[in-house]
Amino acid sequence: MSAIVLNPLQIFSDIWRHRYLLGQLIKRDVLLRYRGAMFGVLWIFLSPLLMLAIFAFIFGQVFQTRWPQQASGLPFWLLLYSGLITFNIFAETVSRAPMSVRGYPSFVKKIIFPVHILPVVPLGAALVHGAFNFLILLAALAWTGGLHGQILLFPLLLLPVLLFALGLSWFVAAWGVFIKDMTQIMPMFVQMLMFLSPVFYPVSAVPVALRPIYHYNPLGAVIETTRAVVTGQPVEWGAWGMALGFCLGVSMLGYAFFQHSREEFADVL
């Protein structure tokens, strides 16, 4: 067990080995969410499109808001949307993590079932929604004349957030088995973190005395770097690399904690 925990390559290769089962669980999760809806899975596309249209109207026409110290000609609502794409992947994963194991008691009680992939399912579903959000972002950039080749780095720059969300998902999924209140705690935590991350504003707009808080927030570093490629600005690879190292450590600790706790899952459920 310790060898697996200490070797990230073995952990992710094990997840890859169960990719078919994981893919089926993600597909089932996404389809169940829209089952019975009039437009069905079309809401994956319609929901972010409507949200972007509302942002464009409210911030572009009503408030006519501009990004603080804006260096590019992109509208405020588009910069806001690019930050939300990054944060929403994290938010959806962590918010749904408490039920990722508790919601499958029959799977947990099967000895041969790879329980550790269950917390990966919310991340996979979040990535499906994130992919559609990214396509809409590309279309909006093309429509506003801001599309350029650097935007192709956007998915790569999300890697620290994916690792961070996965690590916390393993932690929260294990806690969710024993503490039912986690389903109430995590949405409040995510909402608080959203306002402590540079989603609605750049780090440069934060008072100097408070900026260290944002520099140590890996979400903030990734949001800033992804927004940089949207606006065509240089990427701070040093800050991104530090966030990547920290988030990889969180994912390893989360996996170790989950594996340490999983033997008691069946007794509790």
pLDDT in tens, 131-186: 999 999 999 899 888 888 899 999 999 999 999 999 999 999 999 999 888 989 99
Q: Residue 247: its pLDDT value, please?
A: 95
Q: Residue 52: its pLDDT value, please?
A: 80
Distance CA 163, CA 61 (A): 37
Angle of CA points 258, 26, 124, to nearest 5°: 65
- Find out whether 176 and 258 touch, Cβ atoms under 8 Å: no
Average pLDDT over residues 121-140: 93
Radius of gyration of the chain (CA): 19
Residue at token pair 């929260």: 172
Residue at token pair 């949405």: 187
Share above pLDDT 90 across residues of the chain, in percent, rounded to a whole number: 44
Distance CA 14, CA 165 (A): 18
Task: Enumerate the H helices of the chain as residue ranges.
Answer: 2-6, 8-17, 19-34, 43-55, 76-96, 99-102, 105-108, 120-144, 154-157, 159-178, 182-195, 211-215, 218-231, 237-261, 265-268
Residue 38 or residue 178, greater confidence: 178
pTM: 0.90
Distance CA 116, CA 233 (A): 39
Which tokens sit at 72? 């590019």
- Find out whether 98 and 147 touch, Cβ atoms under 8 Å: no
Give the 3-state secondary structure of residue 27.
helix
* Residues 6+ positions from 134 with CB-CB distance below 8 Å: 85, 154, 155
Residue 32 or residue 166, greater confidence: 166
- Among candidate residues 121, 86, 80, 23, the one with its CA nearest the CA of residue 247: 86
Q: Residue 196: its pLDDT value, please?
A: 86
Please determine, for residue 66, whether its predicted confidence score (pLDDT) is greater than 80: no
